[in-house]
Chains A and B, each alone.
Chain A
Amino acid sequence: MPKVLIPTPLRPYVDNQDEVSIDKEGPISDVLASLISQYPSLQNHLYDGEGSLRGFINVYVNDEDIRYQDGEKTIVNANQDVSIVPSIAGGI
Chain B
Amino acid sequence: MTTLSQDEINRYARHIILPEVGPKGQEQLKESSVLLIGTGGLGAPMAMYLAAAGVGRIGLVDFDIVDESNLQRQIIHGTSTIGKSKLESAAARLKDINPHVKLDLYEEMLTSANAIELFEQYDVIADGTDNFPTRYLVNDACVLTGKPNVYGSIFRFEGQLSVFNHDDGPCYRCLYKEPPPPGLVPSCAEGGVLGVLPGVVGSMQATEVLKVLLGIGETAAGRLIMYDALKMKFRELKLRKDPNCSICGPNPTVTKLIDYQQFCGIPQQQEAAKEWTPIDEITVQELKQKRDAHEDFTLLDVREVHENDLVAIEGSQLVPLNTIGVAINDLDKTKHYVIHCKSGVRSAKAARQLVEAGFEHITNLKGGILAWAEEVDTSLPTY
Contact = CB atoms under 8 A, between A and B. Distances in A.
Contacts of B155: 8-9, 88, 90
A91 B237 contact: no
A54 B180 contact: yes
Interface stretch (A25-33, A70-78, A79-87): A79-87
A55 interface: yes
B14 interface: no
B191 to A, nearest CB: 7
A45 interface: yes
A67 B64 CA distance: 39
Contact of B128 (A55, A58, A92): A92
Contact of B42 (A58, A67, A83, A91): A91
Contacts of A90: 41, 130, 153-155, 187-188, 191, 193
A3 to B, nearest CB: 13
A9 B320 CA distance: 15
A86 B236 CA distance: 14
Counting contact residues on chain A (CB < 8 A from B), the size range is 20 to 34
Interface string B100-140: 00000000000000000000000000011111100100000
Interface string B49-61: 0000000000000
Interface string B221-260: 0001010101100011111101000000000000000000
Interface residues of B, number: 51
A7 B177 contact: no
A12 to B, nearest CB: 4
B193 A63 contact: no
A65 B240 contact: yes
Interface in B168-206: 175-180, 184-188, 191, 193, 198
Interface in A1-44: 7-9, 12-13, 18, 41
B301 interface: no
A41 B185 contact: no
Contact of B135 (A9, A68, A86, A89): A89
Contacts of B158: 7-8, 88
Nearest to B201: A91
A91 B152 contact: yes
A92 B132 CA distance: 13
A64 B239 CA distance: 8
A9 B74 contact: no
A65 B186 CA distance: 24
Nearest to A10: B185
Contact of A91 (B153, B156, B175, B226): B153
A9 B186 contact: yes
A67 B241 CA distance: 11
B237 A60 contact: yes
Given A91-B42, A92-B130, A68 B240 contact: yes
A92 B176 contact: no
B239 A89 contact: no
A91 B132 contact: no
A92 B237 contact: no
A90 to B, nearest CB: 4
Contacts of A64: 237-238
B243 to A, nearest CB: 10
A7 B242 CA distance: 23
Contacts of A18: 228, 230-231
21 contacts: A8-B158, A12-B322, A18-B231, A56-B185, A60-B237, A63-B236, A63-B237, A65-B239, A85-B237, A87-B132, A87-B135, A87-B175, A88-B158, A89-B131, A89-B185, A90-B188, A91-B152, A92-B42, A92-B43, A92-B129, A92-B130
Question: 10 closest Cβ contacts across the A-B interface?
Answer: A92-B40, A55-B178, A90-B188, A12-B322, A92-B130, A88-B155, A8-B158, A56-B180, A87-B176, A91-B130
